[in-house]
């Protein structure tokens, strides 16, 4: 039974006058990485009442993360319907910002939101495995790295899986959940329950490079960039073809800007290396934009300019 079905059953029971379901337990949550995704994931759990410990070894990154969290809380109240019930001060008060990984020792679930690079993920996973309690579930917010590779850096294959939150995590209610070959039923049940408790819809897929979302999306973004690179159309026209002709909410290049061009580049490299498929070789235009610091919305410029918005 899917998480959607379980919610539907409870709603029917409530309409028939049955007892209201008990609130999910507010368990301690860990998040690694104070970037855009880490702050959004922390906000999602904190708004639902969970105490969150957000770890990043860089104090400057933690300061930026707190700023992102405050901005995310404001955005949630403006853009999300219905607006979150928890007052902003309560959400902020549930998040601890720490530089030491040892502070994650007793969390029930830790969501790893580090950069999409094999070596970085390996270091983070090994640290978490050595630091966290044996019962802790490790969920990676990887965009493309197979769970089996990530789990191989730990001694707890049964307690590792991927929770691929969509950006911005505090506004998007869908999460691509990826179960590894050795992820246990208990681990999967725990994570699906926690996601449901914070209002996220889980889409469960099998383990493979890029899973479903980025195995399909990344070559499309790369091909769209190639059309700009070769002069077939500019970025604005490429995106308008997708929005006006196909009815997409956003074109592939604006989507790339929202994800972050540095993350797109890293994901393409992972997919190229794990599949051997030349379609994932990043275009020169994408590499050049990232080299120049044009990383999309978060830097004010990518395929499009956001500096005056």
Q: What would the pLDDT profile of 219-247 be if each residue is shown by its tens digit? A: 999 999 999 999 999 999 999 999 999 99
Task: Give the count of beta carbons closer than 10 Å to the beta carbon of residue 135.
Answer: 11
On the 0-12 / 13-18 / 19+ scale of CB atoms within 10 A, 163 is buried
Please answer whether residues 50 and 26 qualify as being in contact, where contact means their C-beta atoms are separated by less than 8 angstroms: yes
Look at residue 59 in the predicted model and tell me its pLDDT: 96
Q: Is the pLDDT reported for residue 8 higher than 50?
A: no
Phi, psi of 62 (to 5 degrees): -65, -40
184 lies in the same domain as 265: no
Give 288's contacts (C-beta < 8 A, 6+ positions apart). none
217 lies in the same domain as 201: no
Report the C-alpha gap between 172 and 80 in whole angstroms: 9
Q: How confident is the model at residue 24 (pLDDT cuts 50, 70, 90)?
A: low
170 lies in the same domain as 232: no
Q: Is the pLDDT reported for residue 5 higher than 50?
A: no
Task: Tell me if 22 is assigned to some domain.
Answer: yes
28 lies in the same domain as 53: yes
CATH of residue 35: 3.40.50.720
101 lies in the same domain as 193: yes
231 lies in the same domain as 191: no
Q: Is 148 left (phi over 0), alpha (psi -120 to 50) or beta?
A: alpha
Q: Which residues pair with 138 in a beta bridge?
A: 110, 160
Phi, psi of 270 (to 5 degrees): -60, -45
Listed residues 206, 226, 261: the one ending a domain: 206
Range of the domain at 103: 3-206
Q: Is the pLDDT reported for residue 261 higher than 50?
A: yes
Give 282's contacts (C-beta < 8 A, 6+ positions apart). 222, 265, 268, 269, 272
On the 0-12 / 13-18 / 19+ scale of CB atoms within 10 A, 225 is buried
Q: Is the pLDDT reported for residue 79 higher than 60?
A: yes
CATH of residue 251: 1.10.1040.10
Listed residues 161, 183, 206: the one ending a domain: 206
The two tokens of residue 234 are 């500019």
pTM above 0.85, yes or no: yes
Q: What's the number of domains the chain is made of?
A: 2
């Amino acid at each position: 039974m899917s998480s959607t079905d379980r919610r539907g059953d409870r709603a029917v029971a409530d309409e028939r006058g049955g007892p209201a379901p008990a609130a999910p337990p507010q368990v301690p949550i860990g998040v690694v990485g104070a970037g855009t995704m880490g702050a959004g994931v922390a906000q999602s759990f904190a708004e639902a009442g969970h105490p969150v410990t957000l770890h990043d070894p860089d104090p400057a990154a933690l300061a930026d993360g707190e700023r992102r969290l405050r901005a995310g809380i404001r955005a949630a109240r403006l853009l999300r319907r219905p607006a979150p019930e928890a007052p902003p001060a309560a959400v902020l008060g549930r998040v601890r910002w720490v530089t030491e990984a040892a502070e994650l020792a007793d969390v029930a679930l830790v969501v790893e939101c580090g950069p999409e690079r094999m070596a970085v993920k390996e270091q983070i996973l090994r640290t978490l495995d050595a630091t966290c309690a044996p019962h802790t579930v490790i969920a990676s917010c990887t965009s493309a790295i197979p769970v089996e590779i990530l789990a191989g850096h730990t001694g707890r294959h049964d307690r590792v899986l991927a929770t691929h939150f969509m950006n911005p995590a505090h506004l998007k209610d869908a999460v691509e959940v990826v179960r590894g070959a050795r992820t246990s039923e208990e681990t999967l049940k725990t994570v699906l329950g926690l996601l449901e408790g914070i209002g996220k819809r889980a889409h469960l897929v099998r383990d493979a490079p890029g899973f479903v979302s980025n195995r399909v999306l990344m070559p499309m973004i790369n091909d769209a960039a190639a059309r700009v690179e070769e002069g077939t159309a500019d970025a604005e026209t490429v995106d308008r073809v997708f929005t006006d002709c196909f009815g997409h909410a956003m074109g592939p290049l604006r989507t790339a800007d929202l994800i972050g061009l540095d993350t797109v580049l890293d994901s393409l490299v992972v997919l190229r290396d794990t599949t051997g498929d030349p379609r994932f070789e990043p275009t020169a235009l994408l590499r050049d934009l990232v080299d120049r610091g044009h990383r999309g919305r978060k830097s004010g410029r990518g395929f499009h300019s956001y500096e005056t918005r």
